[in-house]
Amino acid sequence: MSITAQDIAKLRAQTGAGMMDCKNALEEAQGDFDKAIEWLRKRGAAKAAKRADKIAAEGKIFSYIHAGGTIGVLLELNSETDFVAKNDKFLGLGNDIAMHIAAMNPKYLSREEVPATDIEKEKDIYRAQLKAEGKPDTMIEKIIEGKMGKYYSEVCVLEQPFIKDEDQTIEKLLTLTSGEIGEKITLRRFARYEVGEGIEKANCDFVAEVQQQMGN
């Protein structure tokens, strides 16, 4: 089957992949677009790895407001070029991650950002639990390593299972999309806000009650 320039342009628009990759994918899939997209997805991880040393300094700030305005998320998603930052797949990824953060409430971007004091605190808790369970000292540290892996998957957004597909983590999702688009994509930072977070609400209620009694 003959692959036309229009076919290649159409696949590139759908996936954001490079022109030669799109041409090869269509040839491998004998013109079948669905199979070509699948072929590009399967090559995603390898392509992303090749671009690991590239600098991703372009991109976009994404925002998401949830639950009637009670939860808000801001995040910075980076790409190598401004062109890719306008790609539908890139935009969809940013929106998906923002919604994920709103729902899963991660504390950190990666395990490298977790303060050493928090890590030691968790380990001390696990160590005490395991000793109370009668686990031998020779096994405790190995068990703690496994428990810390689970801890990181709960508090670090890159290691959290993606809410739309729990078979892949956010980090894996970034890698896959990088491969499909053909550029390095990185999640640089994020902030999540929730109304009333960190406020001692009981105390606020008490103050409000006192003010009401005083006629304020």
Band (pLDDT 50/70/90 cuts) for residue 207 is very low
Phi, psi of 100 (to 5 degrees): -60, -45
Q: Which two tokens stand for residue 47?
A: 């392509």
DSSP H or E segment with residue 216: none
- Matching CATH topology for 1-42 and 115-152? no
Q: What is the pLDDT of residues 36-90, one digit of tens each?
A: 888 877 766 445 555 556 666 689 999 999 878 999 999 999 998 888 889 999 9
One-character DSSP codes across 143-196:
HHHHHHHHHHHHHBGGGSEETTEEEEEHHHHHHHHHHHHTS--EEEEEEEEETT
Q: Given this model, what pLDDT does residue 37 score?
A: 80
Q: By the 8 A CB rule, do 66 and 72 touch?
A: yes
> Which residue spans within 67-174 are E strands per DSSP?
71-79, 161-162, 165-169
Strands (DSSP E) found in 84-135: none
> What is the per-residue pLDDT across 113-131, written as a single tens digit (0 to 9) for each?
999 999 999 999 999 999 9
Candidates 1.10.246.90, 3.20.10.10, 1.10.8.10, 1.10.260.40; CATH matching 1-42: 1.10.8.10
As a CATH number, domain 115-152 is 1.10.286
User: How is the chain split into domains, by residue range?
Assistant: 1-42, 115-152
d(CA 59, CA 51): 16
pLDDT surpasses 90 at 198 = no
- CA–CA distance from 80 to each of 37, 43, 112 (Å)? 22, 19, 23
- Percent of the chain past pLDDT 90, that is, above it, reads 48
Rounded Cα distance between 121 and 133, Å, is 19
Instruction: Give the residue carrying structure tokens 């269509």.
Output: 26
pTM: 0.67
